[in-house]
């Protein structure tokens, strides 16, 4: 019977997948087929008004490229667009979506400009949305975002207590009510991890769980969300790497929160990391069941057609930003970013291919190889940096495996083993 093996630290733990699980798999595949036939595989959180999608995409592009509000006219213009569109939309989910991202806009303006008034407006907007649209799927997340603002930036502990009670009573089955008991604590949490190991001389590995918060990433079969899967896998990778005692580890995010792309490598540079590994889940543009497997990317201006499509989804950049990246890419080459990252990517892929079993629960694992592409999240990294795309949420076999905790644990162990092997073999030192 096929089983999932563990190789890190010479452990031989097995993850048996017996008859009950295989029955579950067949039921899952039946559901997958139904989802595909009914058009249930999506790549954005919802289909809807193109105007709503347009302003949301513009917001995502701006916050990924303007860290210090240097483009104030663009931010003001965007705010005006949100306000005008809000007045014209009828009540319903699309208007709720628009109001959610309008609150995100206020939050971004408040954070970037140190403006407590915008932060207060963001918190109240999230709260009003949650209460005005209790039946939409964003209601619990909006309430959760309001709690985070009142707890962190606005420092209103009494409000936090009452809102947590509201979250538990209104949404007893929401994933967000369980976040508070498990989270390490805000954006400073990673720095607390650093302090635990700062006295050592071990190299530092920064793990970057992609997407987060209102940026769900790819959404695939049975509603599997990239942002949830990569956070789960990254936490497991951290655990196994720390157990191996080969390095220190920091996560760019430790809970379900948005983090701009440029801040991720900036954090790694600030902490003088030795390696940067961004974790993602893949998706095919067309809703079909063929494309599957895992692959690793390193930064480059060159890319094959498939990589180009993937970059468009991951980068979330507008036309203006894309046009401005050419000179920056050339600067990366002058600094040798591609030269130092390519060997790292090839070594990690080779090790993963060796560590993964060929078959898991009757499903063969496909290794797609190493590729190069201009992923924005890798730009500016001052250390070897790679992006892992771990299987496809739009493929029935890959989606089934990703839905299993035992397979996510296997994947994390394989990645941790591969990173540990590279650190030891290449004598990666503290920067």
Quick: pLDDT tens for 267-285.
888 888 999 999 999 998 7
* 426: Cβ contacts below 8 Å, ≥ 6 apart: 347
Whether residue 184 is predicted with pLDDT greater than 60 in this model: the reply is no
Tokens 């999932």, residue located: 4
**213 CB neighbour count, 10 Å cutoff:** 18
Tokens 């939409």, residue located: 136
On whether the CB atoms of residues 222 and 35 are closer than 8 A, the answer is yes
What stretches of 304-343 adopt beta strand conformation (E)? Answer: none
On whether the CB atoms of residues 226 and 209 are closer than 8 A, the answer is no
Mean pLDDT of 135-143: 91
Tens digits of residue pLDDT in 336-394: 456 789 999 999 999 999 999 999 999 999 999 999 877 777 877 889 999 999 999 99
Tens digits of residue pLDDT in 194-212: 333 333 468 999 999 999 9
CATH superfamily, domain 50-182, is Tetratricopeptide repeat domain (1.25.40.10)
| Residue 288, pLDDT score | 58
Measured between alpha carbons, how far is 103 from 121 in angstroms, rounded to an integer?
8
Measured between alpha carbons, how far is 344 from 337 in angstroms, rounded to an integer?
11
Q: Which of 43-47, 227-231, 328-332, 347-351 has the lowest mean pLDDT?
A: 43-47
Tokens 């496809």, residue located: 392
**217 CB neighbour count, 10 Å cutoff:** 24
Residue intervals of the chain classified under CATH 3.40.630.40 are 3-39+186-425
| pLDDT band, very low/low/confident/very high, at 301 (cuts 50, 70, 90) | low
Of 314, 310, 300, 302, residue with least CA distance to 216:
314
On whether the CB atoms of residues 279 and 227 are closer than 8 A, the answer is no
- Helices 50-65, 93-113: axis angle to 10 degrees equals 20
Alpha-helix residue ranges (DSSP H) falling in 201-278: 226-244, 261-270
| pLDDT band, very low/low/confident/very high, at 17 (cuts 50, 70, 90) | very low
Q: What pTM value is reported for the model?
A: 0.65
Average model confidence (pLDDT) across the chain: 78
What stretches of 51-129 adopt beta strand conformation (E)? Answer: none
Whether residue 264 is predicted with pLDDT greater than 60 in this model: the reply is yes
* CATH node for 3-39+186-425: 3.40.630.40
230 burial class (0-12, 13-18, 19+ CB within 10 angstroms)? buried
Whether residue 332 is predicted with pLDDT greater than 70 in this model: the reply is no
Whether residue 71 is predicted with pLDDT greater than 50 in this model: the reply is yes
Residue intervals of the chain classified under CATH 1.25.40.10 are 50-182
On whether the CB atoms of residues 249 and 242 are closer than 8 A, the answer is yes
| Residue 415, pLDDT score | 98
Mean pLDDT of 101-125: 93
Q: Which of 2-6, 118-122, 373-377 has the lowest mean pLDDT?
A: 2-6
Q: Which of 46-55, 149-158, 210-219, 419-428 has the lowest mean pLDDT?
A: 46-55
Whether residue 260 is predicted with pLDDT greater than 80 in this model: the reply is yes
| Residue 42, pLDDT score | 39
């Amino acid at each position: 019977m096929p089983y999932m093996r563990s190789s890190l630290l010479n452990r031989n733990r097995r993850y048996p997948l017996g008859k009950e699980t295989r029955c579950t798999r067949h039921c899952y595949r039946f559901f997958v087929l139904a989802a595909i036939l009914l058009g249930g595989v999506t790549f954005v959180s919802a289909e809807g008004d193109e105007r709503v999608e347009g302003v949301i995409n513009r917001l995502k592009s701006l916050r990924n490229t303007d860290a210090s509000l240097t483009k104030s006219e663009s931010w003001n213009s965007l705010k005006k667009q949100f306000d005008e569109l809000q007045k014209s939309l009828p009540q319903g989910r699309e208007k709720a979506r628009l109001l959610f991202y309008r609150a995100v806009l206020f939050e971004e303006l408040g954070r970037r400009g140190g403006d407590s008034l915008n932060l207060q407006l963001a918190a109240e907007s999230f709260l009003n949305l949650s209460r005005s649209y209790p039946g939409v799927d964003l209601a619990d997340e909006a309430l959760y975002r309001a709690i985070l603002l009142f707890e962190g930036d606005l420092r209103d502990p009494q409000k936090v207590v009452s809102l947590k009670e509201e979250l538990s009573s209104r949404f007893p089955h929401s994933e967000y009510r369980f976040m508070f008991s498990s989270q390490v604590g805000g954006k400073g949490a990673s720095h607390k991890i650093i302090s635990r190991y700062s006295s050592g001389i071990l190299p530092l590995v920064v793990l970057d769980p992609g997407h987060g918060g209102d940026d769900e990433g790819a959404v695939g079969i049975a509603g599997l969300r990239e942002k949830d899967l990569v956070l789960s896998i990254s936490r497991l990778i951290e655990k196994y790497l720390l157990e191996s005692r080969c390095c220190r580890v920091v996560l760019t995010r430790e809970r379900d929160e948005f983090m701009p792309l440029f801040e991720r490598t900036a954090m790694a540079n600030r902490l003088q990391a030795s390696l940067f590994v961004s974790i993602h889940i893949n998706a095919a543009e067309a809703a079909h069941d063929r494309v599957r497997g895992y692959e690793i990317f390193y930064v480059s201006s060159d890319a094959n057609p498939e990589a180009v499509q993937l970059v468009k989804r991951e980068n979330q950049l507008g036309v203006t930003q894309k046009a401005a990246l050419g000179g920056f890419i050339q600067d990366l080459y002058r600094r040798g970013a591609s030269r130092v990252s390519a060997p790292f990517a090839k070594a990690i892929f080779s090790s993963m291919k060796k560590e993964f079993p060929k078959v898991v629960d009757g499903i063969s694992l496909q290794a797609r190889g190493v590729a190069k592409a201009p992923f924005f999240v890798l730009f500016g990294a001052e250390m070897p940096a790679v992006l892992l795309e771990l299987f496809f949420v739009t493929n029935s076999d890959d989606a089934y495996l990703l839905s299993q905790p035992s397979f996510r644990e296997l994947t994390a162990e394989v990645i941790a083993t591969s990173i540990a092997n590279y650190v030891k073999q290449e004598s990666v030192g503290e920067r």
